[in-house]
Amino acid sequence: MANLKEIRNRIASVSSTMQITSAMKMVSAAKLKKAQDAITAMRPYANKLTELLQGLSSNLESDGISAYADQRVVNKVLIVAITSNRGLCGAFNSNIIKECSAMIEGDFSNQQADLITIGKKAHDLLVKKFSIVEDHSQIYDDLSFQNIAEIAENLMGYYSEGTYDKILLVYNSFKNAATQIIMKEQFLPIIPMTEEKASTADYIFEPSSEEIVVHLIPKSLKTQLYKAVRDSYASEHGARMTAMHKATDNASELKDELTLNYNKARQAAITNEILEIVGGAEALNN
């Protein structure tokens, strides 16, 4: 059994760690509420905008639409990997990195596959194995629609100019604080709505559906990317809050176990001292 000083040092160390993890849990819980409200409020708008765009583009053949809906032979693929800048959030980042690696080495092993990273964790690990054309880790310093829109414009340019034939988003979708779902979402080309769904949508457009869609496409794509980053941001804080909650619980259990061992060791030391005193007294009497 370890001596009393070693156990006391371990108890102090675990207590310090428990204070840090507990503080990180509370910080993430506070940030999660704001991030969760933002993505919950945004999802219906973003999903309806995408649905409307898909429904219209399936029935129209204007140049503005075909630039982003042209289904080409896929020779070059661009994957946008969305993670966080910081760790201590369980498997949140590693799941995205594993998924991107599996896609490049499996699904797109016969195509040229490049990456754009949003998040320092994705960049630091994926750059060792794959080609990264852009890194936007600084985006979390000012997470705004305007900054995300600039990235979306770059992606639209890559596709319309023929640099890439398909662009995919890979990110964690927020379900609740304890659950994040890995999403592989096609950004470009636009996926047209099926005929059955398109036939059920009946809208009156003014001035014209063609003109509306041409202006709607950039906004819809920017909103889609912004939603993905916001989803990932909320998932990050949920994952970190859950991870720090578990870490705090584990530290508390370890502290209790160490305290019990400390008390046992202390009691054993006291008992040994008493036995030595009694043994010495007996020796003097004899």
Q: How many C-beta neighbours within 10 Å does residue 233 have?
A: 26
Helix axes 145-160, 209-285, angle to 10 degrees: 120
Tell me what pLDDT residue 132 has.
95
Cα(240)–Cα(237) distance, integer angstroms: 5
Tens digits of residue pLDDT in 145-200: 999 999 999 999 999 999 999 999 999 999 988 899 999 999 998 887 665 555 45
Tens digits of residue pLDDT in 255-267: 999 999 999 988 9
Residue 15 · residue 255 · CB < 8 Å: yes
3-class DSSP assignment, residue 76: strand
Tell me what pLDDT residue 11 has.
94
Tell me what pLDDT residue 277 has.
86
Spatial neighbors of 7 by CB under 8 A, at least 6 apart, are 258, 261, 262, 265
Residue 143 · residue 118 · CB < 8 Å: no
Tell me what pLDDT residue 282 has.
78
Domain boundaries, the chain: 39-243
* Topology of the domain comprising 39-243: Pyruvate Kinase; Chain: A, domain 1 (3.40.1380)
Tell me what pLDDT residue 275 has.
85
Taking alpha carbons only, the member of 106, 104, 155 closest to residue 130 is 104
Phi, psi of 3 (to 5 degrees): -75, 170
DSSP-derived pairing of the beta strands 179-188 and 166-176: antiparallel
Q: CA distances (Å), 268 to each of 176, 261, 275, in order?
A: 49, 10, 10
Cα(78)–Cα(99) distance, integer angstroms: 14
Spatial neighbors of 234 by CB under 8 A, at least 6 apart, are 32, 35, 36, 38, 39, 174
Residue 134 · residue 117 · CB < 8 Å: yes
Cα(55)–Cα(62) distance, integer angstroms: 14
Tell me what pLDDT residue 273 has.
85
Give me the tens of pLDDT residue by residue for the chain, a chain 286 residues long. Answer: 568 889 999 999 999 999 999 999 999 999 999 999 999 899 899 888 887 777 766 655 555 556 787 888 999 999 999 999 999 999 999 999 999 999 999 999 999 999 999 999 999 999 999 999 999 999 999 999 999 999 999 999 999 999 999 999 999 999 988 899 999 999 998 887 665 555 455 666 666 767 777 778 888 899 999 999 999 999 999 999 999 999 999 999 999 999 999 999 889 888 888 888 888 877 777 6
Taking alpha carbons only, the member of 33, 35, 28, 26 closest to residue 229 is 35
On average, the pLDDT of the chain sits at 88
